[in-house]
Structures are given as C-alpha cells and as structure tokens.
Amino acid sequence: MVSGVEFLRNVNLSNKVEVGKRVTVIGGGDVAIDAARSALRIGAKEVSIIYRRSRKEMPANPEEIESAISEGINIEFLTAPVEVLANNNKVISLRCQRMKLGSPDASGRRRPVLIEGSEFEIETDMVIPAIGQASDLSMIGESDGVKISGKKTVAVDPVTLASDKEGIFAGGDCVSGPWIAIEAVAAGKKAAISIDRYLRKEDLRAGREEKIASAKEEDTPLMPKPKAPRQIMSSLPLDSRKAGFAEVELGFTEEEAAKEANRCLNCGICSECMQCVAACKAEAIDHNMSEKTIEINVGSIILSPGFECFDPSADKLAKFGGYTSLISQYGYGKYPNVVTSIEFERILSASGPYKGHLSRPSDLKTPHKIAWIQCVGSRDVTCNSGYCSSVCCMYAIKEAVIAKEHSPEPLDISIMYMDMRSYGKGFDKYYERAKKEHGIHFIKSKAYGIQEIEGTGNLSLRYVTEEGKLHFEEFDMVVLSVGMKPRPAVIEMSKRLGIELDHYNFCKTDSFSPVNTSRPGIYVCGAFQGPKDIPETVMQASGAAAASAAFLSESRGELVKKKEFPPEINITGEPPRIGVFVCHCGINIGGVVNVPGVKEYAASLPDVVYVDENLYTCSQDTQELIKDKIKEYNLNRVIVASCTPRTHEPLFQETLQEQGLNKYLFELANIRDQCSWVHQQHPEEATKKAKDLVRMAVAKVRGLEPLKMISLATVPSALVVGGGIAGMVSSLNLADQGFNVSLVEKAMNLGGMARKIHYTLEGGDVQAYLNELMEKVNNHPLIKVYTKASISESSGYIGNFVTKIQVGPKKEITEIKHGAVIIATGGEEYKTKEYFYKKNSRVLSLLELESEIIKRSKKIKECRNLVMIQCVGSRDDERPYCSRVCCSESIKNAILLKDINPEANIYILYRDIRTYGLKEDFYREAREKGIIFIHYEPDAKPEVVPFKESGKEGLRVSVKDPLLGEQVIIDADLLALAIATTPPSTNKELSQFFKVPLNEDKFFLEAHMKLRPVEFATDGVFMCGLAHAPKLIEESIAQAQAAASRAGMILSRKLVQLPGTISFVNKNKCIGCGECTSVCPFGAVALDEKQHVAVVNDALCKGCGICSASCKSGAINLYGFSNSQVVSMIESL
C-alpha cells in the first residue's frame, strides 16, 4: 500500500517501483488516473479504480478517463472502500461498498450515500489511495496569530501574500491548497518581493494591484463563424502503450493543425492572451491600465461626441405602434449581399476585406448590377428617425461613381431615392455628372422588400415608382444607405452636464446660436447637434472654438506654455557632417529591408560621420539619442531613413531645433512607404532601393543651408467686408475676443438680406435677433462700422494688410491697417424673368410673400389657392447649383399661411424637397396640414397663364402630376416663386483685391471643399455666409463664428511665422523678363522697375517653385528644393 503521490514520484524519479499484479487505486482525480495508467505501464496485469460518485462527478480530465478506460482500466463508480484486508502483512483484497447519489453537498456535487448490505470484495495485491492532500500546518496556527482559512490553509492578502501576523508571509500549496508547481514558484517570487519591501519598510502594495479590465459582455461581438468541432488528435495504439511511457497523444498533422488554428475562439474583444504585449516591440501596451477619474479645471467645454450609424438588422429595429419598420423587409444580416453603405465603403477600400476589389460577400464575384436604397433609418418615423440624415444622397452618389470607376467590368447602378438632396456647394453638379457621364440610374421610388433568389445569391428588389407601379428587379447586390443616429451614451452625458437634448436626442440649440447648448459655457459641434456633412461640421467646430474663445477672452493665453529653443548654432563655412539614422519601424521596415545593410552602406557615403539603426526612430528616447549624437559628433545635417515626411518631418525638425540646429538641415528618406511596404515580396530590391534613397538624401543634404523663418509683426485688428448677419457675427465675436474690427457695409444700413426675413422655420424671430445684433455691433467699443462704403484698394499679406475704403456719398478715402480679413458679402435674390415676375401683381418672390404674410394683407386673407414653384433660376444650365434655403423657406411660409388662413389650398410644385437634417419634421408637418406637394421634372416645368373669365381672375398653373399621369390645372390667386440666390457682382472685384479665387458660379472658392471651408489658399483671408454659398441663417452664423475663430488665431499671435522654403532671386542672373511674375499664382513676385530685376515678396511666397521652373536664366530659385539640390539627387543615382 502506497499513496498516489509517493507512487508517482517514485515512478517519475525512475526508482525501481514494485507493482502488484492486481492494483486498485482509490480516488477520482488526475492523480488517481495517472497512478492507474502508470501502474499498467510498469507491469500490473489488472488495474481498477474505485470512485464513490458517478462518472459525471469525476474530477479527472475527461480525456484522461477515456484513455484509461480504453487502455483496459476498470473503473468502479459509486463504490467506496471500507477496509483493506491483509494476510501476513500483504494486501489480499479491498472490501468495498456500493453507493448511490443523494442530495448535493456544499461543493454542488451530489453526496454519495451508502447502500445498505452492498458490501463486496475486490481481490488485489496493491492499493494506491489517491484521495487528496492537505498541508501539514502543525508548525503554525491561530495561536501564532496567523489566520487559518476554512479550507485549512493559511489566509493571506492575495496581492502581498502577507498573513495576518506582521512579518509572516505564505504562498504555495499551504495557501492555495494542492495546486500546480508553477503557481508555487510564482507565489515564492511574489512573497520574496513583499519580504524585500517589508524589510526596507516600503509600501507592500504600491504598483502591484493587477487588475486586467475584461471586456463587458454587451461589447462582445457574437461568434462570427459557425461552431466547428475540435480536431481529434491521433494517439498511440493501445498495445504499444503498455510497453512504457511513450507519448500517447501523437500531435496534429500539418493539415489538422491548420484546421484547429482556424477555429474561431470567439475571444470577443480581448481574451487577455497577452500576445499583443509580446508582439509590440515599443512596449506600448499595458493591460493593467485602468479607468481613472481625472479632474480638470476648465472655463468652457465643447461637446463633439459625433453619431453612430443606423443599424438595419431586423432584430435591432425599434417598434412603432406595434409595427416594425419596412427596413425589416430588406433582409440585412440574412442575405450576405445586402450590405450597408459603410460596409460598401470598406469593400471599395484598398485596405478593406477584398483588398479594394469590387466583390460581393456571398461568393466574392464581381457584381454587375447594384442598387442603393436611400433613407434607411432616415425620414422614417417608424424607427424613430423622422429627420433626414443630410449626407446619404451624396455619399451614395460618390460610392456609385467610385464603384463604376473601380469595376473592371461594366456595372449597372440604380439609386432608389425619395428626394435627391444634393443641396451642398457643388453637389448638384456632381449629381448631374453621375447621371449624364456615369450613366447611373436615379429612380424616384420606395423600396418595399428584398428576397434572395435561391441558389444565386442575387436579390429581387420590390419597389414602387412615382407612378404607383410595382416593379421586381434582380440585382447582384443591394447597398442600404444608412442614416445617422445620436449615440445612446449622450443621454447620460447630457444629464451629467445639465444640457438639453431634442426629441431625437440631438443636442438642442437655437437658430441664432447654433453652437450654444442650453447651458452657458458649454458649446456643441458636429453631428451631435444634428446630422451634417463634413464642411458644416468643420465650420461648427471652429465656430464652437470661437464662441468659447470669446467666453474666455479675459483669461486668454494664461495656460499657454511657450516652447523655447536654444540659440542656433552657426554652421557657416563648416563642411557637412552628416548623421544618418535608419529606422526598423518595428518590423515594418526591418521585416523587409536589410536595415543593418542600409546603415553600413550609409556609412560609406561622402560626409557621413555617424550612422545608427533604431527600432523606432520617432520614439521619445530616440529623439534624445539624436540630440546626443548631434552634440557628440558635431553633426550639422541629419537624415532619418524611415517613413513619410508628410507626417514625421516636423517631429525630427523640432529635435534638431532643440539641439540648436536649423530645422532645414534635415531630410527624410522614405524607405517604408516607398520600399518595405510596397515591395514586400522583393527584399533585395527593396534594400537596394532604400540604399539609393539614402544616397539621394545624402546628395541633397550636402547642399542644404540653414534657412530663416520669416517672422512678421501682426496688426491685431480685422477687416470684415459685409454687414449682414454673417459679417456682424464675425465682427462681434472678434471684438468680444478683444480685437479691433472695421466693418465695411456697402448699403446704408447693416442687416443685409436678413432685413427681409421675419421668422426661421423653427419659429425664431429674425427681426428681434437682427435688431439686438445691430445694436451690439453699433455700440461695441472695438467695432468701427462704415456704411455706404466700398473697398477701392488692398495690398499686403497675412498679419499686415492695408486696405483703402471709400465712405459715404462723398466717397472719402479711409485707410485701414489689419492683420486679417473676413469676406462676408452675402447673396442676392436672382432677378428672374420667368412666370410674369414683376409683371403680374399676383406673382411674388418668397421674400415678398413673407412680407405679405407678416402684414396679414388682404391678398393673404383672401387667398383661396396659393401655388409655389420651386427652383426658379436654380439647378438650371446657367446656375447649376441648389439655392439650399428655398425648400425650407417655402414650407415655412406655407405653414404660416395655413395657420392664418386655414381655408387656403396650398400647392408646392417641386423638383426635390430638400428639407435636410431636422427640417424634415416641418415637411412632415406641412403634409399633415394638407399642403399639397406635386413633383415636376425640369423638362416639364409648370406653365403659368393669367386668365380672366366669368368674373374670376387669376393665374392658371398647369403641371403634370406624375401619380395621375395627367396635366393638373390650378387656378391660383397667388403664385410664389422660390427664386435662386445669386452672388453679388462685387465678388469679382474683391477676389482681385485679396487675390482669392471665385468658383464657376461666382461664389468664393475655399481652400478645401471639406476640410477648410472658411479659409482661402491665401493666408489671412477668410470667408463666411452666403459669400461662400447659399445657406440658412444658423449655418451662416456658425460659419461666421468659424471665420472669426480662424482670424482670431492669427490676430492673437504677436508674430506670424512663415516657412523658410520660399523663392529667392539672384539679381546678377535676372534678365527682368517678367516670366516669374506672370506665372506666380499669388502675386508674390514683382519686377523692380528701377533695377529691372524680379523681387520676391517673402510674405506672399508659398514656396511652390513654379517661378523657378519657368526661369529662363536660372536666376530665381527655391530654398529647400533648389535646382542644384535636385540635380545632385539625380546625379547621385
């Protein structure tokens, strides 16, 4: 008789172990199984295990049990030992008893209960009890002050392993109970650290509390793949096993291993496998980071939490009055080839799932016919998204056009839409091009459902067109244009911050303060304020910054820390001493390019005095290293061979400056984006190319010179051109920020177009707002208003403009010095000749109609039939843009009129109703109030004829009703025209004064359509309001604040710094031909009439180098990209 552990130890230490012929093992754990199987291998003929519960409760590994049974080991379940019978000190048998399972015990397992009279004997000559172990705690106990736990182990703190008695620590089995060796080793180390700290009288806990944040269940995605069974590993044949201790499990074959590895573990977000920690060579991943509460003292808050995409999965749709939205019929999530627009965007992306190939998910075939369904989760009250998401029409067109361009095979595209809302600047042109040049079909329709056609993966789309006809059409793929939704988390956030949300949970704002939340000092921007496109988001972002800057103007700059650089080292006359730092970029470069080889090669190049290779050259410690090496080796040129200068040049330049080197003595060789990433399969060629790029960089830097940044003092005041709402808001914000403002208005009074507008669609009182604004502007001590004034001349550049204006009837000239200018020249109503406008008193513009409504005039009170015609002068060949505001303005006036005169019939004849964003609610309200909307196409415009018959008089309007398919005739008392907004003719002059461009429609052209909507390419000049494009009052206000924010950034700095990479003239070579002056897009080069040579205005030069490339005599050159530098790069090849 020998205990299980002792038996196994002897076996494992290869001691000669005697084993009987018939061995009986008592127990049900791994030790019992192990002992039994070992006994079999060292010569036992019959091996039994007796276990008092059933197989289900047996704690041993199920695979072990299975193997034991298959090796012929007999397991007696529900059997307990009673007595070992011996003869002459030799075991002869084991008396046992049968058991049955009773009620569960504390461990949850069912307690075995004796069956009376069931005793029996098992003949055996060796008994191995393997029924658990316990620590021998006789040496220590409660009397020593050490607490003993219920499990009869030492109770310790889990982090420090300190027992209750100071100075006594415990670990291993005496704490955990029987457990594996490695944990005992870990506990030993842990205790050692504690004891070390204890003896040094240090904090035992500091930095040791390991809490790994595990993913929340609701964040864990569902298993994306179906459940796959484990691979079954082949094992040693039974007859070979008993011969010895050869490995029973033979391992996977390559194929099995690959299959096993391919099984999805469904690890959710993070299964804490820690492989990322091992893989990240920069040691940037720390799983012990935990949530911390940080207190920051701020004077103002800007909220920009964004939005989330609408989820069209049938099970995610909200119920509405017991019904689920129609969207549930689109089969998203059920049919693989129904995808959302965001998923389609990924499909088109080069880094997407199909590497940029246009493929459909079900079979990766190239689709030939795709449909887009618009307004999925927008304009749909049944899913609580009654608003228009504002961006889907344009992104659908964009995706369709890109898909067309992308597809290697002919592609047929249909877009199923309700109204095409391409209301933004330049959008309608894009829409027209998509129709005419790309042949995309736009079908005004409602999609009712999608069915997959069995076996093909194709989809049958059921839709009804405007004429009421039902169609079934087959597509290879359907894209759902999903809308924007407020994030659910904003509800909680708004409660905490005490700000109000609207009925959709967007942030509530007012038409006249579009970036102010309901709580002073807290501002909002982006899609949290309502669905919007990128330019509007960017405008609002800058607008919120401006509002916040004005709010905090008293404490401006208090927390700003200015970075100081050491004085610059003079390197004049010194030969080049080049340092080259070659970057591994982890494995991004080093995995392909032979970095040590490149480094060694760089060392052989002329004037290179130091070379190094770094794991990450951009890391903070490498910046310190570069600085040390500049000092140690007197480096006066630095090359980093790593990634793109477009992202990393400024970082390294700053490192040079911190060591006193001019920042222009630096060059990047892009051996990642241009070598390792794009020649991954050709390491030798990539390495060769990397060497060439380094050689070219060396050739260039040998000729680099220190360049001077130009610093110019700024005049801290602004000129604002245009005294409408936009101009006044800009002026007021800048003045509130503490800057002087000159506001120039061409009319007698401030106010502009807004003087004729009385209400916003939401009901805001425009006149009250306007009067308050004018009063503030007129009375602000820092604002000087010039009315009846126009600009006659302007010169200068960012920070230093000089503009002359003519003021008053006598046109007195005043000169204004300013550091920035904001153009806010507004818009005008187009003077249309259509529809008897200005010829028949029954025909009014929208503004005129509004004025009649406000007056409650007889015309309005007696009006029985009012017809409104949309897009008069907009979206035609002459003005191919949408005037954006007319749909909302028409609906506003229609609702107002209906409220005054409920008897009136109101007809709105439209092309597309463009009540984007939250304005959609009012379109719905108008329809509910009985206003009739009739759609027309530009080739069948409404016709109007004045009539007078049988005592009745009016205008006979006829238009084709698409639903009836017939001409409808309306005898109208009044006809209101939604006339286009046009740019003022003075824009042309201004564009020349300030050297800024106009677009084809004569509105001002911004520096970037999406990302820089208030700036020009010319620094220091900004725009806002209708000067940029037609827009609503709230959008004008946001853009005006944005322009003020951008201008304020310039004015708040005492100096403007301009880059040193600009053109310069060698007077000795210049022949004064004037070619450079004519090609310069910025008017930065002028001819000096006396010396007859070209002169560069450093402040105006942008460093494009067009002048230099055009110079016949090689007299004008570009710092940083000079002719000799470029040629030396070429010659180094």
Residues that bind another protein (CB under 8 A): 349-351, 356, 644-646, 670, 672-675, 677-682, 685-686, 688-689, 692-693, 696, 997, 1017, 1061, 1079, 1081-1082, 1102-1106, 1108-1110, 1118, 1121, 1123, 1126-1127, 1129-1131, 1133
Any idea of the CA torsion for 328, 332, 335, 337, to the nearest 10 degrees? 140
Nearer to another protein, 449 or 683 (CB): 683
Tell me if residue 81 falls in helix, strand or coil.
strand
> Of 626 and 694, which CB lies nearer to another protein in the complex structure?
694
Q: Name the residue nearer to another protein (CB basis): 354 or 836.
A: 354
Rounded Cα–Cα distance for residues 820 and 799 (Å): 6
Give SS3 for 96: strand
Least separation in angstroms between residue 670's CB and another protein is 7
The answer to whether the Cα torsion of 1010, 1016, 1022, 1026 is positive or negative is negative
Of 122 and 1129, which CB lies nearer to another protein in the complex structure? 1129
Q: How far is the CB of 1073 from another protein (least distance, A)?
A: 16
Q: How far is the CB of 1118 from another protein (least distance, A)?
A: 7
Tell how far CA 1079 is from the center of its chain: 40
CB of 644 to another protein, least distance (A): 5
Q: How far apart are CA 578 and CA 260, in angstroms?
A: 53
Nearer to another protein, 336 or 703 (CB): 703
Please tell me what DSSP assigns to residue 217: G
Question: Residue 455 has what DSSP assignment?
Answer: T
Strand partners, 50: 26, 76
Residue 176 to residue 112: CA distance in whole angstroms: 26
CB of 988 to another protein, least distance (A): 17
Contacts of 88 by beta carbon, 8 Å cutoff, 6+ apart: none
Residue with tokens 């017809």: 867
Q: Are strands 966-972 and 952-961 parallel, antiparallel or unpaired?
A: antiparallel
- Full DSSP string of 158-182: TTT-BBSSTT-B--THHHHSS--HH
Q: Quick one: how far is CA 322 from the chain centroid?
A: 35
Q: For residues 731 and 742, what is the distance between their CA atoms, to the nearest angstrom?
A: 8
Starting from the edge strand earliest in sequence, which strands make up the sheet with 820-823, in order? 783-786, 740-744, 717-721, 820-823, 1021-1023
Q: From the CB of 688, what's the least distance to another protein, in Å?
A: 7
Please say which residue, 535 or 722, places its beta carbon nearer to another protein: 535
Nearest to 330 by CA among 359, 352, 355, 310: 310
Contacting residues for 915 by C-beta, under 8 A, at least 6 apart: 388, 887, 888, 891, 922, 923
CB of 740: closest distance to another protein in angstroms? 31
- DSSP helix/strand/coil, 1116: strand
Of 1048 and 1105, nearer to another protein (C-beta) is 1105
Structure token pair of residue 480: 């759902």
Nearest residue (CB) to another protein, 304 versus 1132? 1132
Smallest separation, CB 155 to another protein (Å): 55
**CA-to-CA dists, residue 863 to 376, 653, 950, angstroms:** 39, 72, 18
Residue 665's SS3 state is coil
Nearer to another protein, 296 or 1133 (CB): 1133
Cα(167)–Cα(934) distance, rounded to whole angstroms?
A: 89
**At closest approach, how far in Å is the CB of 658 from another protein?**
25
At its nearest, how many Å lie between another protein and the CB of residue 999? 10
The minimum distance between CB 421 and another protein, in angstroms, equals 24
Distance, in Å, from the CA atom of 720 to the CA atom of 745, rounded to the nearest integer, reads: 9
CB of 1094 to another protein, least distance (A): 16
Comparing CB distances to another protein, the nearer of 161 and 1085 is 1085
What is the smallest separation between the CB atom of 1091 and another protein, expressed in angstroms? 25
Q: Which is nearer to another protein, 694 or 783 (CB)?
A: 694
Strand partners, 956: 945, 971
Residue 752 phi/psi, 5° resolution? 60, -150
Residue 699 Cβ vs another protein, minimum distance, rounded to whole Å: 11
Residue 332 structure tokens: 């998203």
What DSSP character marks residue 838?
Answer: T
Closest contact distance (angstroms) between CB of 680 and another protein is: 7
Please give the structure tokens belonging to residue 864: 């029985």
User: Using CA atoms, how far apart are residues 659 and 706, in angstroms rounded to an integer?
Assistant: 14
**181/915 Cα distance (integer angstroms):** 71
SS3 string, 222-241, reads CCCCCCCCCCCCCECCHHHH
What is d(CA 518, CA 3) in angstroms, rounded to the nearest whole number? 77
423: left (phi over 0), alpha (psi -120 to 50) or beta: alpha
Neighbour tally for 635: CB within 10 Å: 25
Cβ closest to another protein, residue 379 vs residue 679: 679
What's at 642, amino acid-wise? S
- Alpha-carbon span 372 to 387, nearest angstrom: 19
Structural tokens at position 308: 């989330």
Q: Distance (Å, rounded) from C-alpha 8 to C-alpha 843?
A: 106
Nearest approach, Cβ of 353 to another protein (angstroms)? Answer: 13
Q: Which is nearer to another protein, 642 or 714 (CB)?
A: 642
Cβ closest to another protein, residue 167 vs residue 1081: 1081
- Of 421 and 672, nearer to another protein (C-beta) is 672
Smallest gap from residue 1120 Cβ to another protein (A): 8
> Which residue, 359 or 553, is less far from another protein as judged by CB?
359
If the CB atoms of residues 31 and 1094 are measured against another protein, the closer one turns out to be 1094
Residue whose CB is less far from another protein, 26 or 1101: 1101
Output the smallest distance, CB 1081 to another protein, in A.
4
